[in-house]
Amino acid sequence: MKKILLVILTTLFLTLSFQVLSGFDEGLSAYQKEDYATALKEWQPLAEQNHVRAQYRLALMYEYGRGVAKDEEQAVVWYRKSAEQGSAYAQYSLAFMYANGTGVAKDERQAVAWFRKSAEQEDPDAQFNLGFMYLKGMGVAKDNKQAVIWYRKAAEQGFSLAQYSIGWMYSEGDGDGVVKNEKESVIWYRKAAKQGNSNAQGNLGVMYANGRGVEQDERQAVMWYRKAAEQGDVNGQGNLGVMYENGRGLSKMNGKPLCGIERPLNREVRKDRTTLVGCMHMDVA
C-alpha cells in the first residue's frame, strides 16, 4: 500500500513539475516573439506560486512596460521575491535598482549587499559592479584591493569592462592597493580590446605608441586606434588623426582630416545596464 501511494505521489509530482516547466517555456517562447500578453498569461500565475524564474521575468516586464503598464515599483517587488529565493539575475537587478533609486529609494548599502549575493554566485555583471562600488566607496568603505579582486573575478570570466578597468588601474597605479605595472596593464587591455572594447583598444594604442609596458610599435598603435575609431570612439579618432598628421606608423595624409565614424546604436541587452563607471581614456604622446 505504501509503495502504491509513493508511486502515485511521485507521478503527481512529476506531472505538476512538467506542467510548470511547460508553462514557463511557453511564456519564454511567447516573450521572445514579443507576444507579451501570452507571456504574462503564462508567467503571472507561476510567479504567484513562487516560481523563481517566472518572478524574475515578470519583474522585467514591469520594469520595461512589456505586456503591462510600466511600473518600476512592481518590478522591485518581483525582483525581490525572486532574489530572496536565490536568483543571481534577480539579485543583480535588485541591486541595480537600489544603486540608481529606480522603483525604490536609492540605497547604496542595499545595492552593495545584493551585488555581493549575486557576485558570490559568479555573476560577472555583479562582480564588476561590486568592484566599482569598492573603487568609489559607494555603500561600502573605499578599498582598491577589494575592487581589483572583484574586477579580476569578472575579468577571468571574459567580462571586457572588468578587463579594461583592471588595465586602467595597473596603468596608473594608486599607491593604495594597486602597484603600477604597465606590462600587466597591457595584458588586460589586450584581452578587452580583442573582445571589441573600444576604450581598451584606444588605450592599448597609446601603450604601443609610447612603448609603455610593451615594445614601442607605431604600426600596432595605428591598428588599435583604427579599431577604436571605427566604433565611433572619439579619443581613438583623435589619436589616429594625430598619427596620420605626423606620419607616425603610416604615410601622412597630406593634411586631409580624419573623418568621423558614426557610433552604432546600443543593443538592448542585459549588459548595457552594467556600466555604472565612466570611461577612462589616455592621450597619445
Per-residue confidence (pLDDT) for residue 250, from 0 to 100: 74
Distance CA 221, CA 204 (A): 7
Residue-wise pLDDT for 99-142, tens only, equals: 999 999 999 999 999 999 999 999 999 999 999 999 999 999 99
For 8-20, give one letter per residue: b (16+ CB within 10 A) or e. eeeeeeeeeeeee
Cell of 209: 605608441
Q: How confident is the model at residue 201 (pLDDT cuts 50, 70, 90)?
A: very high
Q: What radius of gyration do the chain's Cα atoms show?
A: 24
3-state class of 254 per DSSP?
coil
State the CB neighbour count (10 A cutoff) for residue 259.
Answer: 8
Cα three-residue angle 229-227-231, rounded to 5 degrees: 50
Distance CA 275, CA 160 (A): 11
Distance CA 143, CA 224 (A): 32
Residue-wise pLDDT for 14-69, tens only, equals: 444 444 557 899 999 999 999 999 999 999 999 999 999 999 999 999 999 999 99
For the whole model, what pTM was predicted? 0.80
CA-closest candidate to residue 236, choices 189, 272, 268:
189
